[in-house]
Structure 1
């Protein structure tokens, strides 16, 4: 299936607006309308309704599972993370990780794994509400980055979302039921001091960096998808890197975008800044949830 056919068909199947992806891949409105006509001729689409045959055509692109990375300490969220893992912190009454879990379930993804480390026993509380959750232990979480969580979940990466679990999701529709290829989520920005991607016109990620050189780029969001081939390849490359002398100190994103960059063709999956809230400090938490504000008595 051609990319534009997939985008139109999957958007209709999921009931989503793919305006951002259309712009990212340079599709015109006439391109979209002609594609709809072609899909109707192939009996994959009837108006805006996907036919039974259309759903069969989409099935090879279905996301099989989601892996949540939830092992870290969250030092910048002290004091709230002294007794609570950051993904389990409540923001306006709901645990951060639950905003992501609910979106995954809403997209029809029921195979859910959580890689735990710091105060890992607390994640067992989630199994009462979500019995299908399975927990993966990361004994190396202290002193390593997310690469250690990828390492202990490396056999789960095929046809899978991998999500950092400290993102407050405001728009659940950005979690898709179907993916055409491996991709990494990002927000288009004029500049950023954070991690960023640069891309070719077709959306292929060509560069990753951090700091002041991030101009006219995509700010990295910690949500990625890996298809069957790349997920299998990533598992091998993570094992090779992690078991090397310096591997545990590598940022995970360096594996596909620097260390083994010639082996991957990862796309950008654009999202809007309003879709996700990244709470990086206790001060930011106080802004988003006034219940955490500390009032000094006069």
Structure 2
């Protein structure tokens, strides 16, 4: 690879490396220079002659003013540290500490990085924060950094973090916050742009280093150099990257993209490779990587791990293969193995202590524990909601658009309702609407006609109460994602999971909940009702289920409004719930009008 420099001259990678080395250490002889750079003696000999010929060093191998000017122009001036993300793979550590503040050998990761930058004279440091941003505030006073807040960290990847700092890319290091470097990777002297990779082969990498020290694209799963993520950009390349970042960030296709997308031109990066040994630079992505690097790290002593050890009678190092599951609307969960079995641990998410009574949830699980209805519970804490369940291998969730799936789910739901199980607490739909509203009260609803919609929904209460035939234990959250299809001894079985909201209620509420989570239209709603009731649903009950759809729509709309105050958005889901509240109120009114007209016709006859 060749890099363009001042005066129209080209400098190859050996010349750049040796010139940088000469700027750091006094020249003794070519043999010592070969040892320091790792290049052959012949390469060093040729390179020294070339640098003399082009005027970068004199006869004594001392830097000339031309070289000094080159170093001055490309000198590192600033750094951008990316620290906005969830660090989802760091479960369960990320439930208590953001990844940049993990301790390794008694030193906080991001503090170590900042100190290494200070050692080479870089004090202009920008830290892009988002998740747990408050935990980074102390860095302003401690190290004089500037925080840049990425409010979109939950929905967009770090390309959008870099966009917030594009005016600071010139002669800048870009650094992930979760990197541990044995030796200082930064320098007072740089001559070209580079991106750091390690000599470790990684199936997830999208680049490999060729013989010219270029970073060329490689398909994932084919193996490339592990991408460390530290990068240095000189002025010319910084401008290219800046324009590319701005362009890409306008395209929603790149919402989930890494910032490195801006480094590519066709099939390779526009910057050179900087290769390091994998033992010298470690990206700490998982609990187990941290444990391997520092088995005494304070972050390994999390509440979640302590619970697992006590509940399953295992030691910390017996817990392995920890991996994050999809982040749910309410909880964070992770998968782990111990004693040759797989388990899922649920950790309640933000604000759930306000939303869910864990004592009541534990009561429900005790009620259904031995009835082959739910997943197998290994541990549940009625105080904090921590729960451990056995992992159901090969399980899949219900497809709400698959006829066979929904028939099986409605049969499962009907069989559960027919057991007429009882617990000591109710789920009050109207009470919960008021409760969620109080949680976000103090801020007006995001919907301009909320008060009118609420009045309409509350008007449905009388009809509902007149048409409740029985109350029994009801799941409340009987949505497609909570029906698991599993193989049990060669036969398909269905398990209903996540009973956080369950309580005594009209079981027909569960039908409404399935509909609104599936975002069904009225035709699909009616079809599901027919399946559940095996084509024998009375019109009065059908209208009652329409009422429940309107009521549940407002209920979960208010739930989403509360979550919104916590910085959590649910996109289309929240909007559709509010639409259900309005549209199904109108549907109920229309159906009641038809019933009334039908009775009048009969009376007249």
TM-score (norm 2): 0.43
Q: Partner residue of 1:69?
A: 82
1:148 and 1:18 map into 2 onto residues whose CA distance is 42
Note the alpha carbon deviations across 1:219-259, whole angstroms, 9 max, x for none.
211111122122112111111111113121223222332xx
- Contact 1:90–1:96, Cα closer than 8 Å, also in 2: yes
User: How far has the Cα of 1:64 moved from its partner?
Assistant: 1.7
Q: Partner residue of 1:11?
A: 21
Greater RCO structure (CA 8 Å; 6+ sep): 1
Note the alpha carbon deviations across 1:101-158, whole angstroms, 9 max, x for none.
2222222222211111111122121233312x11111111112211111111111112
* SS of corresponding position for 1:105: helix
Aligned CA distance change for structure 1 residues 43 and 158 (closer, same or farther; 3 Å): closer
Q: Partner residue of 2:193?
A: 182
Please point out which of 186, 195, 208 is paired with 1:198: 208
Q: Partner residue of 2:244?
A: 237
Aligned CA distance change for structure 1 residues 219 and 287 (closer, same or farther; 3 Å): closer
* SS of corresponding position for 2:173: strand
- Contact 2:128–2:147, Cα closer than 8 Å, also in 1: yes
* SS of corresponding position for 1:113: strand
| 1:83 equivalenced with 2:96 (yes/no) | yes
| 1:285 equivalenced with 2:296 (yes/no) | no
Note the alpha carbon deviations across 1:156-193, whole angstroms, 9 max, x for none.
11211111110111111x3233333221111124x322
2:289 and 2:56 map into 1 onto residues whose CA distance is 50
- Contact 1:187–1:272, Cα closer than 8 Å, also in 2: yes
Aligned CA distance change for structure 1 residues 45 and 64 (closer, same or farther; 3 Å): farther
Structure 1 residues without counterparts, runs of 5 or longer: none
Q: State the structure with more CA Rg.
A: 2
Residues 95-106 of structure 1 mapped to structure 2, 5 A cutoff: 95-106=108-119
1:249 and 1:19 map into 2 onto residues whose CA distance is 44
- Contact 2:195–2:231, Cα closer than 8 Å, also in 1: yes
Aligned length: 287
Aligned CA distance change for structure 1 residues 19 and 158 (closer, same or farther; 3 Å): farther
- Contact 2:158–2:257, Cα closer than 8 Å, also in 1: no
1:221 and 1:20 map into 2 onto residues whose CA distance is 25
* SS of corresponding position for 1:142: coil
2:34 and 2:275 map into 1 onto residues whose CA distance is 10
Q: Partner residue of 1:246?
A: 253
2:50 and 2:216 map into 1 onto residues whose CA distance is 32
TM-score (norm 1): 0.83
- Contact 2:90–2:287, Cα closer than 8 Å, also in 1: yes
- Contact 2:197–2:228, Cα closer than 8 Å, also in 1: yes
1:206 and 1:21 map into 2 onto residues whose CA distance is 27
| Range with bigger deviation, 160-169 or 179-188 | 179-188
Q: Partner residue of 1:116?
A: 129
Aligned CA distance change for structure 1 residues 58 and 255 (closer, same or farther; 3 Å): closer
* SS of corresponding position for 2:225: strand
Please point out which of 213, 220, 233 is paired with 2:227: 220
Structure 2 residues without counterparts, runs of 5 or longer: 1-8, 27-31, 314-605
Residues 249-268 of structure 1 mapped to structure 2, 5 A cutoff: 249-257=256-264, 260-261=265-266, 265-268=270-273
Q: Partner residue of 1:143?
A: 155
Aligned CA distance change for structure 1 residues 195 and 14 (closer, same or farther; 3 Å): same
